[in-house]
Structure 1
Amino acid sequence: MAETAQEIKARKERERDELYALDISDVEWHSAPGTEEHEERVEIAYLPGGAVAMRSSLDPDTVLRYTEAEWRAFVLGARDGEFDLEPARQDGAPAAE
């Protein structure tokens, strides 16, 4: 039997609560190759069950956590160009399509 929308929401909330309850004080943070310690960069850490934590090097206390499914969807979307930035016009507004 398929999950109802309410059951899916409850499961997602449970997964999120469990993910944020994890102690990640000893995780190893990774960033893109070639970035320097003093540069702003995105850092990720691999968590149990395929989950991932992500933070900015300039704000290491603010950490976002993603389940394996959420991270996989993000990575696939990024590969497909879903998050590509639109080129800006000279006045800073988005370029017309």
Structure 2
Amino acid sequence: MPRSTPEARAITVLTRAQSAAVTARQRAQHQLRAVLVTYYLAAVTAWPTTGLRHPQARAVLAAAPTPATAAALSRAEFAEALSRFSPGTCPTWT
């Protein structure tokens, strides 16, 4: 496809926009992780391989945005928060 066609220019614009969006997402994720390492280390260490991108990590942060609220959550409330974002994969505790 020649570079001068409107389609080629549109693909170039879309590629740059997608690249910028990925960079912005990564930057925001790194900033969030840096703050959480200082403020809420348990939220970072709970998902060492998938990190904060994992739906369960976001579910826990939504249900317990601070260490104090996390400490106050019962196991049932914690399980409920996880099941809303990942049904069928929530662990059960006795």
More helix as a share of residues: 2
Q: TM-score, normalised by structure 1?
A: 0.31
Q: TM-score, normalised by structure 2?
A: 0.31
More strand as a share of residues: 1
